[in-house]
Homo-oligomer: A and B are copies of this chain.
Amino acid sequence: MNVNVFHNLSYGVYIVSTLDGERPTGCVANSIMQITASPATLAVSINHDNYTNSCMKRNGTFAVSILSEESDPGLIGTFGFQSGKNTDKFAAVDHVMKDGLPVVSDACGYLTCRIIDTMETSTHTVFLAEIMDGDLLLNVPAMTYSYYHKVVKGKSPKNAPTYIPEEQETAAKVSYVCSVCGYVYDGEVPFEELPDSYVCPICKQPKSKFIKKD
């Protein structure tokens, strides 16, 4: 199998959020799709290792914030590269409450959903959910995973279905890669000449966390 074919499946980039008790939490997801039109339902795949998975099951509802091409890529670091078990991910993120669920303000649209079924796989839960409500928030194109990969130069978190271990991907030329989130530096200024105050635009880790890759 040529795993590069998986890059040809098209996805958006979403924050799936719910409540941990009374505290908002969430994670990044790509694998979301509408299942039926009437009543409107969708399916979302969330890794068992994501703290959000167990919170969704306990809470029974969740929201989907649809990131746009202009959404802060830092949201993917905040929600995709740390655990909601130990971190209050929404603490520094502008959000509004819809149907009692946290929605990222910097999204182009949202959906609120009630879980009606689940299908377990070896590593992920597929949640089937009825859509309670939804609206557009900003008139900006939705961020696709392809846009995130090619324009933002981001990678998948290791828990994502779309994650492909680096050695399986096509070999790249010399580059500086964030060891925390996999962001590949692609600026005009040579990486060595960046100030020490440079931080990863995705996960906000310092320049010292970058490693040189041949």
Contact = CB atoms under 8 A, between A and B. Distances in A.
A2 B136 contact: yes
Contacts of A133: 1
Interface string A122-152: 1110101001011110000110111000000
How many of these chains are in the complex?
2
B161 A37 contact: yes
Given A133-B1, A134-B2, A35 B31 contact: yes
Given A9-B142, A10-B142, A45 B35 contact: yes
A111 interface: yes
B108 A2 contact: no
Interface in A1-25: 1-6, 8-12
A171 interface: no
A176 interface: no
Given A8-B142, A43-B45, A109-B5, A33 B32 contact: yes
